[in-house]
């Protein structure tokens, strides 16, 4: 009886082996394993656990049939192709990782793995959901507030598909900040607040930067002239660096009867006219070699020419000589008369 039972068991297990081995044709194996493959297991066939890579075991196998490698509990099949797969733990911000896929679950599609999970370049972790988002400039297209990170780490609002500042604030020129706009003369806490007025800076209040002067209407900063004949709109531009300069039809000049010498206005004396200083005779230092004030009269140097035409000395020196001769003669007569 016992023999009979044993024999039957032996027979049936023998039958099973034979039957199954016969039944598991390649096509059937494909079908069976194909069903469990889905997304759960790798494509790696195995007979025992040792056929499988780290953190995985041989699944749906037994002594008689092959199975597929499957990740152990707590590990995810984060990558698989026909020849390779990996079972890794999911990781979150700052945790160690081997591939980006470990981070994506927690940080989103813009996550990346560089030893630890982080956000890709030019993307930032939004503190409210912990995921990575592309950052865009103010006024640029956005999907969520998370896209609207500002330079100081705060967020603007994604409104109608655009990053916008809170009410009362305006985007800075570089569109990375929301600024509480200030006008000239108003108190301020940083240069950005003054930046809507060109060339102004915050010095307790918004003021024009060095080299600029405030316009008459106190709304703009105008460039201060550093040379005579620099262009101008208002007198203040011509008097900041040029003593007694005025703005005349768009040029910094001097009152009539005066001319600019270097950076100041001096009374003009033409060639042959009385003078007390050489700068009265010429507009700049280098022209002192063309003409100067000699014996109380503006005189051209012998043979001197001024190709710029700013001093009335030509190569026709006889003219000058004659005029200065006449002048000297007058002076002589005058002196004689006085005496």
Ligand X SMILES: *[C@@H]1O[C@H](CO)[C@@H](O)[C@H](O)[C@H]1NC(C)=O
d(CA 79, CA 39): 10
Q: Is 176 in the site for ligand X (CB under 6 A)?
A: no
β-pair type (258-261, 251-253): unpaired
With CB under 6 A as the contact rule, which of the stretches 4-12, 52-60, 212-220, 331-339 interacts with ligand X?
212-220
Q: Is 65 in the site for ligand X (CB under 6 A)?
A: no
Binder to ligand X among 106, 144, 199, 251 (CB under 6 A)? 251
Cβ count near 317 (within 10 Å): 16
Q: Is 172 exposed, middle or buried (0-12, 13-18, 19+ CB in 10 A)?
A: buried
Binder to ligand X among 123, 200, 237, 278 (CB under 6 A)? 278
Contacts of 334 (CB under 8 A, 6+ apart): none
With CB under 6 A as the contact rule, which of the stretches 98-106, 120-128, 137-145, 311-319 interacts with ligand X?
311-319
**Shortest Å, Cβ 92 to ligand X:** 24
Contacts of 1 (CB under 8 A, 6+ apart): none
Complete edge-to-edge strand list for the sheet that includes strand 41-46: 41-46, 67-71, 56-59
Q: Is 308 in the site for ligand X (CB under 6 A)?
A: no
Supply 141's token pair.
């297209």
**Shortest Å, Cβ 147 to ligand X:** 29
Task: Identify which of residues 48 and 219 has a Cβ nearer to ligand X in the complex.
Answer: 219
Binder to ligand X among 44, 135, 220, 237 (CB under 6 A)? 220
Binding site for ligand X (CB under 6 A): 81-84, 187, 189, 215, 217, 219-220, 229, 233-234, 249-251, 278, 288, 292, 294, 301, 305, 314-316, 318-319
């Amino acid at each position: 009886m016992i023999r009979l039972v044993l024999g039957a068991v032996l027979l049936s297990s023998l039958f099973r082996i034979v039957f199954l081995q016969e039944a598991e044709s390649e096509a059937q194996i494909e079908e069976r394993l194909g069903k469990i493959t889905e997304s759960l297991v790798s494509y790696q066939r195995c007979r025992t656990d040792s056929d499988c890579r780290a953190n995985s075991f041989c699944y749906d196998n037994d002594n008689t049939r092959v199975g597929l490698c499957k990740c152990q509990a707590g590990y995810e099949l984060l990558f698989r192709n026909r020849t390779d797969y990996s079972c890794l733990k999911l990781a979150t911000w700052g945790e160690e990782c081997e591939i980006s896929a470990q981070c994506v679950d927690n940080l989103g599609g813009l996550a990346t793995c560089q030893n630890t999970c982080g956000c890709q370049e030019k993307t930032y972790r939004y503190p409210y959901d912990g995921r990575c988002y592309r950052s865009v400039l103010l006024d640029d297209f956005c999907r969520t507030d998370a896209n609207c990170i500002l330079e100081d780490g705060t967020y603007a609002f994604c409104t109608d598909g655009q990053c916008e500042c809170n009410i009362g604030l305006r985007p800075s020129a570089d569109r990375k900040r929301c600024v509480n706009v200030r006008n000239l003369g108003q108190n301020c806490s940083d240069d950005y607040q003054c930046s809507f007025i060109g060339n102004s800076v915050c010095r307790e209040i918004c003021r024009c930067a060095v080299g600029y002067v405030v316009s008459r209407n106190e709304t703009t900063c105008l460039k201060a002239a550093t040379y005579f004949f620099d262009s101008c709109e208002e007198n203040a531009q011509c008097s900041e660096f040029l003593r007694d300069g005025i703005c005349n039809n768009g040029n910094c000049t001097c009152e009539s009867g005066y001319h600019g010498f270097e950076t100041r206005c001096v009374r003009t004396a033409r060639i042959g006219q009385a003078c007390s200083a050489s700068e009265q005779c010429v507009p700049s230092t280098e022209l002192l070699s063309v003409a100067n004030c000699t014996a109380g009269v503006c005189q051209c140097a012998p043979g001197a020419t001024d190709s710029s035409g700013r001093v009335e000395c030509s190569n026709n020196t006889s003219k000058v000589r004659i005029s200065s001769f006449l002048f000297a003669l007058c002076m002589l007569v005058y002196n004689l008369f006085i005496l």
